[in-house]
Amino acid sequence: MLKVSRRKFLTGSPVAVAGAALGDVIGARELSGWAAKPASEPHINFPTEPRDRLAAASWPFRAFIETPTNLRRDRKQPGMELKDFAAMVAQRFRVRAIEPLSDHFRSTDAAYLGEFREAVEKAGSHIINIPVGGRHSFYDPDPALRRMAIEDAKKWVEVAVALGSPSLRVHVAGVHNVKPDVDRAAESLRQLAGYGAEKNVVINLENDDLLSEGALFLTKVIEKANHPWLHALPDFCNSMLSGNEQFDYEAVTVLFKHAYNICHVKDAEVDEGKVFRIDLAKTFGILRASGYRGYCSMEFEGEGSPYEGTQKLIDASVKYLSG
């Protein structure tokens, strides 16, 4: 996902900061039939066939997603409801797992979540992760604001439960004139991971912003928190926005040591008119060397159509996962 424009997008949207009453999504939990027994650590039965390990993120299709909170909708393009995304991905790409962005949700009330889950299941698909934005920071010096970050994320844990998603990716927002703080972030995220454990929802951290979500910082936070339900979500190319290709590979390497169920596959990033590319074969080599067995979510960020770009990523991923 994009470093600058997407960051403003995520922190400015009503849905990104929870948008709905917690009672609505708690009520939606009854739709899931999911086991509520907490476990000491997550246990997901991952598929082993290369194509079955793939997923498609809704973010690359932001120009098409119809919802009031999608600030990236391009009215020149045909519209698509998020609840129809799974069917499109299954029919066009033969991929049965999706990763819907929180800001693409039309609502988080029980009725909408029920319709969304029904549509996903009708397509023979499932949700593997929900990337969520957030206005407040987990390392804010103000404990009240840190508490707000935790409470906002908890509401999305309930959404994940209602939709049968095994995980949530939370955004570690920055704080003006405040350096990222490992201790404060770790304590906040340890609390959130504890709540996730109670609901059987993994909490993931992504190298999505070079300042507030740098790979080395996130690694320190995860190690400091030391919670089995807090993991990394390695993005293949986000750290490349530093302009240093070797740094990107090093970032991905350290994050895969803490990854569990989800990573973002891309071969390029476009930022302020500049295109940053990485060696996809080399990055998949890092993935395999780490022993990672989770899902690989296609998050095309190159130039051109997301449909064509996603298909190319799928073809390459199947190839490298089969090797």
Beta strands 295-298 and 274-277 are unpaired
- What is the distance between the alpha carbons of residues 1 and 9, in angstroms, rounded to a whole number? 11
Q: What is the pTM of this model?
A: 0.89
**Within a domain: residue 77?**
yes
Q: What is the pLDDT of residue 161?
A: 99
Q: Which of 225, 316, 307 is nearest to 277 (CA)?
A: 316
Higher pLDDT, 262 or 241: 262
Percentage with pLDDT > 90 across the chain: 81
**Within a domain: residue 229?**
yes
**Within a domain: residue 110?**
yes
Beta strands 268-271 and 262-265 are unpaired
pLDDT band for 12, please (50, 70, 90 cuts): very low
φ, ψ (nearest 5 deg) of residue 98: -130, 160
The gap from C-alpha 176 to its chain's centroid, in whole angstroms, comes to: 24
**Within a domain: residue 38?**
no
CATH number at residue 239: 3.20.20.150
Q: What is the pLDDT of residue 38?
A: 63
Domain count, the chain: 1
**Within a domain: residue 37?**
no
**Within a domain: residue 53?**
yes
Instruction: Give 8: exposed, middle or buried? Use CB within 10 Å, 0-12, 13-18, 19+.
Output: exposed
pLDDT band for 39, please (50, 70, 90 cuts): confident
pLDDT band for 271, please (50, 70, 90 cuts): confident
Higher pLDDT, 271 or 10: 271
**Within a domain: residue 266?**
yes
Tell me which residue range forms the domain holding 312.
5-32+43-322
Q: Amino acid identity, residue 265?
A: V
- What is the distance between the alpha carbons of residues 44 and 304, in angstroms, rounded to a whole number? 35
**Within a domain: residue 192?**
yes
- What is the distance between the alpha carbons of residues 131 and 105, in angstroms, rounded to a whole number? 11
pLDDT tens digit string along 58-104?
999 999 999 988 989 999 999 999 999 999 999 999 999 999 999 99
Which runs of E-coded beta strand occur in 2-60?
A: 54-57
- What is the distance between the alpha carbons of residues 291 and 258, in angstroms, rounded to a whole number? 11
**Residue 9 predicted with pLDDT over 70:** no
**Residue 306 predicted with pLDDT over 70:** yes
